[in-house]
Amino acid sequence: MSDCIFCKIANKEIPSSVVYEDDKVIAFNDLDPKAPTHVLIIPKEHFSSALDINDENCEIIGHIFSVTSKIAKKLGIDKTGFRIVNNCGQDGGQTVGHIHFHMLGGRNLGWPPG
């Protein structure tokens, strides 16, 4: 998607602070962090939201969670814990139309969320 900001980050057309990358996924620090650790994990392939995930393409989501575990260890939040968030659509608070998983940690995040 030529006008998608996260596709541009994945293609290195827009700079980001990359914490993990492989052939399918890139993870980078959120520009406006909501916790001491706030990483966004995205597939390099464009999916608009969770609504685009189906039986045929859902393998990427499992891969993202395997990456999550690696990043937690790398950033030292595996022992203290973290939260993975996927916002979908207007009521979910999604502002960027390329599926992404927020990884938040480094402080007690409380529950329930706002």
**Residue numbers annotated as active site:** 100
Closest to Zn ion by CB, 52 vs 78, is: 52
Using CB under 6 A as the binding rule, whether residue 49 contacts ligand 5GP is answered as no
Using CB under 6 A as the binding rule, whether residue 108 contacts ligand 5GP is answered as no
Contact of 97 with 49, CB cutoff 8 Å:
yes
Contact of 99 with 48, CB cutoff 8 Å:
yes
> What does each C-alpha distance from 59 to 56, 94, 102 come to in angstroms?
8, 22, 18
Provide φ and ψ at 104, rounded to 5°: -115, 135
* Among the listed residues 2, 54, 90, 95, the single contact to ligand 5GP using CB under 6 A: 95
* Among the listed residues 2, 3, 23, 32, the single contact to ligand 5GP using CB under 6 A: 32
Residues that bind ligand 5GP (CB under 6 A): 5, 14, 16, 28, 30-32, 40, 87, 93-96
